[in-house]
Structure 1
């Protein structure tokens, strides 16, 4: 990154005041509007006791007030805990207690989720840290005894720019998805987020004045937040949707001159289906995407045939969503892989043996480790996780299986915890799943490892296509014909659905829960 270290409020202040920052279907806000509204709200929060070093929960769907509230907290030096707007009482209570947030900012009476009811269901001891409830719009008293204020009460206060934050202050808190364990709370500082945002913007939005990226996923996740932060750093106009409705989204892409799309592989699939025409989106430069859906491995090539260039990216809560990206000029089959070159010019990547941090030869699969000046600070109040997160020299252990290519690109393969240890070999389950999904009657597949016959054996869990019945013997025979013997499933179990955990970026299969269900079915 060139230039001085910045705070996130400083990024807002540096943008042209007249330029539109956020464009929603129902209206827009300029960068100057964000400066004024967030500075007013910062003064209101300060008067109600929010101070530098506090953590503030932000729990609402995409709307201008989300960014106004976040900027207000950042200007005070308070950290924002981005909460999934689809959370319910059980998870909300755990996260409030774990994070120790001092204030919670929610929707008002115009909100769509039953947030007031959800808050009342949270046991008092789990929300003991809360000293203030803030609603985007006026709302009746929610929790007796808890001070409550509406954001609109800030309208009469001074709009002069305010920024009391320091570059090293915690700016953002993300909860990891917790598909195999409880969530960890990831802390990011102003200066590292600002630096990464500027690096990302320089590479992905080289012409910000003419760029009109679209955000169709929640601000609250690392993916959506990274898109918003990139737009803030580049002073590009970000078109935002409250929710993802493919047909409505396609109409807006075409009518509003969207230039860049970002989302998941299944979103791309739905966009292409709703678009019908070819080329699907002639005004779109590219779509940056994350691969979450195993049976959409050919999405980049299918999109290419429809005139949409897709670029596989890689990221995580600890590194933000766009840590790396595949080259735009690579063949579609290569661009369809997560990974690529690091977007921070000084960041480095290596692949190591997951047991001893020994760097592996080029092309060999192992754990991806990252050395970046823009990575997260630490996990909140979790010394065990912090101790295990870093190798000697400050290399961050991502927990992801990857390999390096001769030209310095990284290719993401899977999560290490998803990797199966079969026959003494680390085996990517996606390789087996691809063969299983190709068989008649199979709509979706997940492969888990089950202890059987004094060893660990692969078991395929499948969801059947409507009106069809997968043939277990035929599937096993097909796998034996195409895969190494230790990779071929010994059983194929049919399920109605797979257990998933919800995140702002989409649903993720809970492999540990699925493994337990498969083991119970087999009596293992």
Structure 2
């Protein structure tokens, strides 16, 4: 096989179904998409983007997003995916760590004021950023030069082809970090394309019969991986620019959709909008990630109404849809996170966290994974990469689970202190660092709690000489962080509960969670 067999371009199948995509009711054929990729590559080259350059993409789900990724691959450039829910501190961190030279950004989307967010970023903090390209407008108010993203309209000389470099970084996802900002997970064309083909084969996708409702954001591995898997299958993909239950219900009902992937909350909201006993007779697989309490009850209700939910597993480092349950599994096993690896070349093992030895079937420990879908490393962070990979090439997931004994595995919980908020994995340190940068805050700790059926975070703050106003802290965090990271409560304390150990003083995070729930209960 040649290197080009592992390029993103190789995923476009000539015998595929038409149209390739449907965006807000507008079909895009495969020929049209390939033409837009060529136009976008030429446009990027005209902006001075070449091999190794990073382009930050801050867009909702639209054809420009996918065209930018495929075009960057043709040039040997790299796309850094920016979550549309990010705010100034998060965007600044991503731009700084990635060294992005160009950012392609929305002019506006619903209530998101992209220009206002950019205005809160100091130009000196992101010295590599040279220019903004705006989709949907000629420019936005910003301290960087702006051009209109007119790749589909303007004519530029054809771009040089560099897609043979299939093992170089092409896409950067963000993932939870231990300090202020997230790490950047680097994937190549080979890791993305080979996993996409594995998904198409494992799910036995038929381009003439199967179709996907893409309702997850392309900026995350869950949305992008499912998208690429169905591109590899040659199936039609119906795309939501951002998730809303009503348009998702309409597409599922009217277009014979067979597959969709999302969170438990997404499927709960869709089901709540219809009284039909079996509303989706064509739907075969709904792969879901369980983030909220009550997901088992949801799965049972969905099953009774003909919506079969399938548990799955993935991460930015090994990509989403790394594994999924099978139709022949019992209901109890099918809805558990984990399942069977998509790739026949993937290996999963579990290491006992106490002894450090590999665990037997049925014994819980840290999940370790070796697979073709494994990331290249953390971008510009070799130390973190070294810590994450074993000497024999397995990725230390930081997740707890067990082997089932039949070739499948079960995901149980996240090791350590990372929090699952708004469907995203968030490190407490990211929010704590923002709090500690606020006037009047000497120290801060953040924990996750179950608040009215939702995972929310609660902050405990030790005040400096001039105690902070809690309303002011919340307002500042809303400006600096995505809404799901803003604490539901901020409590002032004199000290944190700690435990002395041989390795130093440790914060009793379990006690902090209990304190949070006790205080909330009294309210």
With the shorter chain as reference, the TM-score category is 0.7 to 0.9
The equivalent of 1:342 in structure 2 is 341
**Partner secondary structure for residue 6 of structure 2:** coil
Q: What is the 5 A alignment of 1:423-502?
A: 463=451
**Partner secondary structure for residue 394 of structure 1:** coil
Q: What is the 5 A alignment of 1:350-365?
A: 350-354=349-353, 357-365=356-364
The answer to whether the Cα contact below 8 Å between 1:17 and 1:30 also exists between their aligned partners in 2 is: no
The equivalent of 2:5 in structure 1 is 5
Find out whether 1:318 has 2:306 as its counterpart.
no
Q: What RMSD in Å do the two structures reach over aligned CA positions?
A: 3.4
The equivalent of 2:118 in structure 1 is 119
**Partner secondary structure for residue 106 of structure 1:** strand
Pairwise CA distance, 1:155 = 3.2
TM-score w.r.t. structure 1 length?
0.78
The answer to whether the Cα contact below 8 Å between 2:87 and 2:481 also exists between their aligned partners in 1 is: no
Q: What is the 5 A alignment of 1:9-408?
A: 9-12=9-12, 14-16=13-15, 19-108=18-107, 113-140=112-139, 142-144=141-143, 146=145, 148-152=147-151, 155-157=154-156, 164-178=163-177, 182-354=181-353, 357-408=356-407
C-alpha distance in structure 1 between counterparts of 2:272 and 2:110, whole Å: 30
The answer to whether the Cα contact below 8 Å between 1:141 and 1:148 also exists between their aligned partners in 2 is: no
Pairwise CA distance, 1:235 = 1.5
**Partner secondary structure for residue 315 of structure 1:** strand
**Partner secondary structure for residue 138 of structure 2:** coil
TM-score w.r.t. structure 2 length?
0.78
C-alpha distance in structure 1 between counterparts of 2:282 and 2:508, whole Å: 42
C-alpha distance in structure 1 between counterparts of 2:330 and 2:252, whole Å: 25
The answer to whether the Cα contact below 8 Å between 2:42 and 2:159 also exists between their aligned partners in 1 is: no
**Partner secondary structure for residue 81 of structure 1:** strand
Pairwise CA distance, 1:110 = 7.2
The answer to whether the Cα contact below 8 Å between 1:212 and 1:236 also exists between their aligned partners in 2 is: yes
The equivalent of 1:444 in structure 2 is none
Residue-pair matches, total: 451
Pairwise CA distance, 1:333 = 1.3
1:262-287 CA-partner distances (Å, limit 9, x unpaired): 11111121122222211131111121
C-alpha distance in structure 2 between counterparts of 1:328 and 1:303, whole Å: 15
**Partner secondary structure for residue 279 of structure 2:** coil
Task: Call closer, same or farther: CA 1:243–1:47 in 2, change over 3 Å.
Answer: closer
Task: Call closer, same or farther: CA 1:250–1:153 in 2, change over 3 Å.
Answer: closer
Task: Call closer, same or farther: CA 1:308–1:97 in 2, change over 3 Å.
Answer: same
Task: Call closer, same or farther: CA 1:144–1:291 in 2, change over 3 Å.
Answer: closer
Pairwise CA distance, 1:406 = 1.7
C-alpha distance in structure 1 between counterparts of 2:304 and 2:225, whole Å: 28
The answer to whether the Cα contact below 8 Å between 1:81 and 1:172 also exists between their aligned partners in 2 is: yes
Which segment is superposed worse, 511-520 or 40-49? Answer: 511-520
C-alpha distance in structure 2 between counterparts of 1:419 and 1:101, whole Å: 27
Which segment is superposed worse, 271-280 or 393-402? Answer: 271-280
Moved over 3 A (4+): 1-5, 14-18, 108-112, 141-145, 152-155, 157-165, 177-182, 459-465, 499-504, 506-523
The answer to whether the Cα contact below 8 Å between 1:301 and 1:336 also exists between their aligned partners in 2 is: no
The answer to whether the Cα contact below 8 Å between 1:405 and 1:411 also exists between their aligned partners in 2 is: yes
The answer to whether the Cα contact below 8 Å between 2:346 and 2:370 also exists between their aligned partners in 1 is: yes
Unpaired stretches in structure 2, ≥5 consecutive residues: 420-446, 454-476, 489-506
Task: Call closer, same or farther: CA 1:55–1:516 in 2, change over 3 Å.
Answer: farther
Task: Call closer, same or farther: CA 1:395–1:279 in 2, change over 3 Å.
Answer: same
C-alpha distance in structure 1 between counterparts of 2:380 and 2:450, whole Å: 39
C-alpha distance in structure 2 between counterparts of 1:3 and 1:405, whole Å: 36
Pairwise CA distance, 1:148 = 2.7
**Partner secondary structure for residue 69 of structure 1:** helix
**Partner secondary structure for residue 373 of structure 2:** coil
Unpaired stretches in structure 1, ≥5 consecutive residues: 421-458, 466-498
The equivalent of 2:427 in structure 1 is none
The answer to whether the Cα contact below 8 Å between 1:352 and 1:358 also exists between their aligned partners in 2 is: yes
Task: Call closer, same or farther: CA 1:44–1:280 in 2, change over 3 Å.
Answer: same
1:411-443 CA-partner distances (Å, limit 9, x unpaired): 0000111599xxxxxxxxxxxxxxxxxxxxxxx
1:325-360 CA-partner distances (Å, limit 9, x unpaired): 111111211111010111110111111023564101
The answer to whether the Cα contact below 8 Å between 2:89 and 2:481 also exists between their aligned partners in 1 is: no
Task: Call closer, same or farther: CA 1:366–1:509 in 2, change over 3 Å.
Answer: farther
Pairwise CA distance, 1:19 = 2.4
The answer to whether the Cα contact below 8 Å between 2:4 and 2:164 also exists between their aligned partners in 1 is: no
The answer to whether the Cα contact below 8 Å between 2:3 and 2:166 also exists between their aligned partners in 1 is: no
